[in-house]
Amino acid sequence: MKKKLLLALAVIFLIAAIVGYSFYQKIYSPNVPETNMIFIPTGADFDKLIEIIKPHVDNIESFIWVAEKKNYPNKIRAGKFKITGGMNNETLVDHLRGGKQETVTLTFNNQDNFEKLAGRVGNQIEADSVALLDVFQDTDFMKENGFDKQTAIAMYIPNSYDFYWNTSAEKFRDKMLVEYKRFWTKDRVLKAKEQKLTPIQVSTLASIVQKETSAIKERNTVAGLYLNRLHDFWPLQADPTIIFALKQKYGQDKEYMRVLNKDLTIDSPYNTYSNFGLPPGPIAMPDISSIEAVLQPEKHSYYYMCASVENIGYHKFAKTLKQHNINATAYQKWVSQQGINR
């Protein structure tokens, strides 16, 4: 009897050891083969979570077992998570359940309109472009914060920002307001006042400067020219504003490489040939270099500019109409030779 009892105990201990080792393996054996980022959408259930995790673990069944034991199916958190090669199931579940997600460095440049901005941002965070476009165009939000439909795009300063991937459209927009206020420091506001402009007016003129030249190193010169015209009560006569007015009238997807004389009579508040002063708002989203160019313009006596035919991408500047006409004639001749009609 004693031998039988000892044998039975040995069998029990062996079974217990096997079961214990099996549990140990499920919990503590490495189950993540390599480091990756995974994205868990807002509202994901456990089935969706398994679908996301499965390609990134060696044994999905052991993961499910540990996840259920730790009540993870009821505590799923959305976001972008880094899972590290060599993680075991306990570490993996604790990491995901804890919600310690990675940030996304979200970047956008000078977008022409809210549709393009929504598309750009929607490719980098969970919020889709439709939801983003809706909150961008929220008139109540605009009014509460000193913007309108024409000026609201000035609130979005092109740069790189850190966000959580599962940021909602509203939270993205609200952070952009915070960043806008942070950008407009007392020093920048003072510089704007020195140019007799408000921050929104600075952004409006900066958008024209940016569309006028892609050469960053001549933006201060272009800004100085437009400020000369503005302060001396000249019409700005900025071709980019005519192009903007044409796109508003005939469709944003239409491209205009050349402004024709007939275009200069278009009926629009953005026509800076027929209207004095600045247009109602930015014609695009100016980047920081363009804003700084308006805040710190080059001091000179230029009132005219024309695209250079010797240095493509740059301009020739003139103080007198006589010199400008010489420059303009050379440019028009060059354009005709290129066969550019529009």
Q: The whole model's pTM is what?
A: 0.86
Per domain, the residue ranges of the chain are 26-98, 104-183, 197-304
**Alpha carbon distance 59, 140 (integer Å):** 51
Q: What is the pLDDT of residue 21?
A: 43
Superfamily in which the 26-98 domain is placed by CATH: Endolytic murein transglycosylase (3.30.1490.480)
Size of the chain, expressed as the number of residues it contains: 342
Token pair belonging to 173 = 């927009």
103: Cα within 13 Å, side-chain hemisphere: 7
Q: What is the pLDDT of residue 17?
A: 45
Buried residues in 194-228 as b, exposed as e (16+ CB within 10 A): ebebbbbbbbbbbbbbbbbbeeeebbbbbbbbbbb
Backbone CA torsion sign across 177, 183, 189, 192: negative
CA distances from 35 to 40, 81, 114 (A): 16, 11, 36
Buried residues in 78-109 as b, exposed as e (16+ CB within 10 A): bbbbebeeebbbbbbbebbbeeebeebebebe
Give 299's DSSP letter: P
280, 200 contact by CB (below 8 A):
no
**pLDDT tens for residues 286-329?**
999 999 999 999 999 999 999 888 888 899 999 999 999 998 88
**pLDDT tens for residues 171-206?**
999 999 999 999 999 999 999 999 999 999 999 999
Buried residues in 39-59 as b, exposed as e (16+ CB within 10 A): bbeeebeeeebbeebeebbee
Q: What is the pLDDT of residue 244?
A: 94
Partners of 80 in beta bridges: 39
Token pair belonging to 314 = 């740059």
**Alpha carbon distance 136, 143 (integer Å):** 12
Token pair belonging to 221 = 């010169």
Q: What is the pLDDT along the chain (342 residues), one digit of tens a residue?
A: 655 555 554 445 545 444 444 555 668 899 999 999 999 999 999 999 999 999 999 999 999 999 999 999 999 999 999 999 999 999 999 999 998 899 999 999 989 899 999 999 999 999 999 999 999 999 999 999 999 999 999 999 999 999 999 999 999 999 999 999 999 999 999 999 999 999 999 999 999 999 999 999 999 999 999 999 999 999 999 999 999 999 988 876 666 667 888 999 999 999 999 999 999 999 999 999 999 999 999 999 999 999 888 888 899 999 999 999 998 888 888 877 766 555
